[in-house]
């Protein structure tokens, strides 16, 4: 039923996953090998209907559904509306439907289209931002600018869809650590997402970044340098709306959680505590 590998956000661990696309529409980020084995494909409505009916027979109660793979929002709006309507009619008990959306796929929708998707049950969009620095975004081949990211975020929020954003500590390397942290903090301030997740860079073989490291063109941060970078990031986040902050992914050296701006000082104090006491996860225990 599934075309592997299969990924979902950590917060969707209890959700039914329905694949409506295969792979990632961009699939060019230099640090990522998640979908390198897949050619990006939008599944046919008939195949999706077959999957939905199969899962209905399998599960008597489904409250949360995540639409995979890497960029389900790129599906043409009329087709995506039909998928959401099918889910609503088949899983009447479902409370929320979520998916990944790239900035470009969001910008490819109109405000009215996003509102229609929201009205049909689209609850939240997950957006991988990675960095707020245009230099770093270019280095990692993200294919998008910081201004495009901000505009995409505003479109999601204006449509009253929740927005969950992830950034990656260490993705700028030693050379661009400070600018990455500062610009990412400023970007988050401009976006004010509902949720912010900080991951830490994990280098995967068979990626362009891995080859850059072998050629000594990219220097990784140490564990303490990563923590310091996260601290600088937090210092530069200034929001009036509450942003739920999480830095508890398996890739992280320490676990941090709170809400911004309320817990800003608490989070910075926790980072200082970990740096002073060296209570940092050992490298071999980190994972994606």
pLDDT tens digits, one per residue of 225-282:
999 999 999 999 999 999 999 999 999 999 999 999 999 999 999 999 999 999 999 8
Q: Is residue 159 scored above 80 in pLDDT?
A: yes
The percent of residues above 70 in pLDDT, for the chain, comes to 100
Helix, coil or strand: residue 237 = coil
Q: What is the pLDDT of residue 196?
A: 99
Fold classification of 10-285 (topology level): pyruvate-formate lyase- activating enzyme (3.80.30)
Q: What is the pLDDT of residue 282?
A: 87
Residue with tokens 């075309």: 3
The percent of residues above 90 in pLDDT, for the chain, comes to 95
Q: What is the pLDDT of residue 120?
A: 98
Q: Is residue 1 scored above 90 in pLDDT?
A: no
Q: What is the pLDDT of residue 283?
A: 85
Give the separation between CA 158 and CA 171, rounded to whole angstroms: 30
Return the number of other C-beta atoms located less than 10 Å from residue 238's C-beta.
14
Environment class of 159 (CB within 10 Å of its CB; exposed 0-12, middle 13-18, buried 19+): buried
Q: 25-40 pLDDT, tens per residue?
A: 999 999 999 998 999 9
- Cα torsion through 84, 86, 89, 91, rounded to 10: -80
Is residue 52 within 8 Å of residue 86, measured between CB atoms?
A: yes
Is residue 286 within 8 Å of residue 251, measured between CB atoms?
A: yes
First to last CA, the chain: 24
Quick one: tokens of 122? Answer: 């689209």
Is residue 87 within 8 Å of residue 52, measured between CB atoms?
A: yes
Q: Using 50, 70 and 90 to split pLDDT, how confident is the model at 201?
A: very high
Q: What is the pLDDT of residue 83?
A: 98
Q: What is the pLDDT of residue 161?
A: 99
């Amino acid at each position: 039923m599934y075309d592997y590998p299969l990924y979902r956000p950590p917060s969707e661990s209890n959700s039914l996953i329905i694949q409506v696309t295969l792979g990632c529409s961009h699939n060019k980020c230099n640090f990522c090998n998640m979908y390198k084995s897949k050619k990006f494909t939008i599944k046919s409505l008939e195949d999706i209907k077959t999957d939905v009916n199969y899962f209905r027979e399998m599960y008597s109660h489904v409250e949360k559904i995540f639409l995979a793979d890497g960029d389900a929002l790129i599906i043409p709006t009329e087709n995506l509306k039909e998928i959401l309507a099918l889910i609503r009619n088949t899983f009447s008990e479902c409370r929320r439907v979520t998916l990944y959306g790239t900035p470009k796929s969001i910008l490819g929708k109109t405000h009215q289209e996003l509102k229609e998707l929201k009205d049909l049950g689209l609850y939240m969009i997950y957006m991988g931002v990675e960095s707020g620095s245009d230099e770093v975004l270019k280095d990692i081949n993200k294919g998008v600018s910081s201004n495009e990211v901000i505009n995409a975020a505003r479109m999601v929020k204006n449509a009253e869809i929740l927005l969950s954003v992830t950034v990656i500590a260490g993705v700028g390397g030693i050379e661009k650590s400070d600018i990455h942290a500062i610009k990412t903090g400023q970007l988050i301030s401009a976006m004010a997402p509902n949720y912010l997740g900080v991951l830490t860079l994990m280098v995967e073989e068979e990626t362009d970044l891995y080859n850059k490291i072998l050629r000594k063109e990219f220097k990784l941060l140490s564990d303490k340098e990563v923590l310091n970078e996260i601290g600088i990031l937090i210092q530069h986040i200034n929001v009036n709306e509450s942003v739920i902050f999480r830095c508890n992914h398996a890739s992280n050296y320490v676990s941090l959680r709170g809400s911004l701006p309320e817990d800003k000082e608490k989070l910075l104090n926790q980072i200082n505590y970990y740096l002073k006491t060296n209570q940092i996860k050992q490298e071999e225990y980190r994972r994606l």
